[in-house]
Amino acid sequence: MRADTAAIVLAAGKGTRFRSELAKVLHTAAGRTLVGHVLAALEPLGLGQVVVVVGHQADAVREELAASGLANVTTVDQTEQRGTGHAVQQAVPALADGIERVLVLPGDAPLLTTRWLEQLLDDGAAHGGAMFTSRLDDPTGYGRVLREDDGTVTGVVEQRDATEEQLAIEEINAGMYLFARSGLAAALERLDDDNSQGELYLTDVVALQAEAGTPLAATAAPGEVIAGVNDRAQLADAAAELRRRHLHHLMAEVGVTVEDPTTTYLDVDVEVARDAVLRPGTILAAGTRIGERTVVGPHSHLTACEVGADATVESTRADQAVIGDAATVGPFAHLRPGTHLGSRSKVGAYVETKNARLGDGTKAPHLAYLGDVTVGERANIACGVIVVNYDGQVKSHTTIGDGAFIGCDTMLVSPVTIGEGAYTAAGSTITDDVPDGALAIARARQTTKEGWVARRRGTGG
Ligand code: UD1
Ligand code: CA
């Protein structure tokens, strides 16, 4: 726990280069908002307080923060965006008594990790504070770090304010800092807007700290940790890096086989258990959980699903579905919200389910629509069955008992109840309940007209 340390997260900017109606920090990468990623990296640090500076779409950002469920998070408003220094000025008065150290982070840096933040905290503790710097092949756009001959950090100069000579500096300012609260507060009072953008630059605090005899330490961090997201190309790059890390974790630490990481897309909150296999073209989103030894894909897209152990889910689209142990799903199944498949159940090709509960061992191997239905255990839903759940005005529910056999091409006009072990004949349109153990036939009888074809052509007897 670091109760004496707070974080200020800067999230008031518009993100002009996104060309979006939506505030930049609310765009998502690998299933989480940009600001959500920053908070997730902060969470394990156990900080005393997190203050998020909001401005553009402040209400929407506040809602997102509330939804993230993090404790200790409050917001302050920066109604006019007058620079990063100005943003921090809004937040400092909100710091609680007892806060002595302050992390300042941008809200658009989703690749930050807890481990690197711990490094910053450690380096900062030994100095007046610390800042992340990085050496980039292309430092364009970033502030450059100024140092004395002995290496002491003396300041940061923004790209737009830099001389030719300063532009040649490869070491950039990541815009992430740890300050002593007192030093930060003193320096913020001395900021001015005497620069090319007429803004209050937080970066000027770096020089003021050096002048006060408490220069910041520089913590060198890799570009793929400190990278900010300023446009949609960088958003895609960040998402790819987040997915790469997540898949690497699953392979290295959990023991999941990922046959082709380049075509496997997992949100960061997806959990996959040991010895599961993710086949190519698999997309797992929104907290989906996959059990041990289950094989998913090729080409399955699961959103907010819970899949048990030893199941197979091939070429399937599923949303908010629960799939039991050793169930077999697909290829070409569509499981819609409210689907609940029991263990050893089977849902095969061209079967669509919605608000459908199939008991253990129940099978619907091909071509069916199962909407608003509860099916018992070991039932058989043959090819072409439709639960007619909608009469154009209201949806109704159908119940099918254990061990029932619903013949091919049966229409079950809801609401209707099929008893345990009951049969329906192929091609039946069932409108009345069928008792346990009964056979229901509901179709016109066949008439066969011998010689009809020849008679019509006028050639025969
Ligand atoms: C800043 C640094 C630069 C550094 C770079 C790293 C300054 C002056 N420059 O530049 O040295 O290399 O980050 O990415 O700090 N924000 C507010 N309110 C404001 C202005 C900004 O909340 O009034 C927020 C933005 O939403 C963003 C963060 O602060 O999340 C950084 O602002 P941005 O304008 O992106 O700074 P850079 O120009 O990238
Ligand atoms: Ca930026």
The number of the ligand 1 atom at minimal distance from the alpha carbon of 15 is: 26
Residue 291 Cβ inside 6 Å of ligand 1? The answer reads no
- For the Cβ of 401 lying below 6 angstroms from any atom of ligand 1, the answer is no
Q: How confident is the model at residue 14 (pLDDT cuts 50, 70, 90)?
A: confident
Question: Looking at residue 126, what is its pLDDT?
Answer: 86
**How far, in Å, is the centroid of ligand 1 from the Cα of 106?**
7
Query: What's the gap in Å between 142 CA and the centre of ligand 2?
Result: 8
Cβ–ligand 1 contact at 132 (below 6 Å): no
Angle at 311 between CA 309 and CA 313, to 5 degrees: 135
Does residue 86 line the site of ligand 1, with CB under 6 A? yes
Q: Which of 84, 173, 177 to mutate to test the pocket of ligand 1 (most atoms within 8 A of CB)?
A: 84
The pLDDT of residue 444 is above 70: yes
- Where residue 34 falls among pLDDT bands split at 50, 70, 90? very high
Q: Which ligand has the shortest distance to the CA of 106?
A: 1
pLDDT tens-digit map of 54-110: 999 999 999 999 988 788 899 999 999 999 999 999 999 999 999 999 999 999 999
Q: How many CB atoms lie within 10 A of CB 139?
A: 20
Ligand 2 geometric centre to CA of 228 (Å)? 6
Active site residues: 366
Judge whether residue 343 has pLDDT over 60: yes
pLDDT digits (tens, 9 = 90+) for 131-190: 999 999 889 999 999 999 999 999 999 999 999 999 999 999 999 999 999 999 999 999
For position 460, what pLDDT does the model report?
A: 62
Ligand 1 lined by 82 (C-beta under 6 Å): yes
pTM above 0.85, yes or no: yes
Q: Is 26 in the pocket of ligand 1 (CB under 6 A)?
A: no
Nearest to 169 by CA among 144, 140, 148: 144
Which residue reads 């399955």 in tokens? Answer: 300
pLDDT value of residue 70: 80
pLDDT at 218 exceeding the cut of 90: yes
Give the phi and the psi of residue 136 in degrees, each rounded to 5: -115, 145
Average pLDDT along the chain: 96
Q: Is the CB of 124 under 6 A from ligand 1?
A: no
317 — pLDDT class (breaks 50, 70, 90): very high
pLDDT band at 305 (very low <50, low <70, confident <90, very high): very high
Q: Which ligand is nearest to the CA of 226?
A: 1
- Residue with the smallest CA separation from ligand 1 atom 26 is 13
pLDDT tens per residue across span 233-271: 999 999 999 999 999 999 999 999 999 999 999 999 999
Query: Tokens 């090819």 sit at which residue?
Result: 383
Q: Note the pLDDT of residue 110.
A: 98
- Measure 230 CA to ligand 2 centroid, in angstroms: 6
In this structure, which residues have their CB less than 5 angstroms from ion ligand 2? 228
| CB 371 less than 6 A from any atom of ligand 1 | no
> Domains (ranges, CATH) in the chain?
2-226 (3.90.550.10), 232-440 (2.160.10.10)
The reported pLDDT for the residue numbered 461 is 54
Q: Whose CA is nearest to atom 31 of ligand 1?
A: 106
Q: Rounded to the nearest whole angstrom, what is the distance from the C-alpha of residue 22 to the centroid of ligand 2?
A: 16
32 CA distance to ligand 2 middle (Å): 19
The 3-state secondary structure of the chain, one letter per residue? CEEEEEEEEEECCCCHHHCCCCCHHHCEECCEEHHHHHHHHHHHHCEEEEEEEEECEHHHHHHHHHHCCCCCEEEEECCCCCCHHHHHHHHHHHCCCCCCEEEEEECCCCCCCHHHHHHHHHHHHCCCEEEEEEECCCCCCCCEEEECCCCCEEEEECHHHCCHHHHCCCEEEEEEEEEEHHHHHHHHCCCCCCCCCCCCCCCHHHHHHHHCCCCCEEEECCHHHHCCCCCHHHHHHHHHHHHHHHHHHHHHHHCCEECCHHHCEECCCCEECCCCEECCCCEEECCCEECCCCEECCCCEEECCEECCCCEECCEEEECCEECCCCEECCCEEECCCCEECCCCEEEEEEEEEEEEECCCCEEEEEEEEEEEEECCCCEECCCCEEECECCCCECCEEECCCCEECCCCEEECCCEECCCCEECCCCEECCCECCCCEECCCCCCCCCCCHHHHHHCCCC
Atom of ligand 1 nearest to the CA of 14: 26
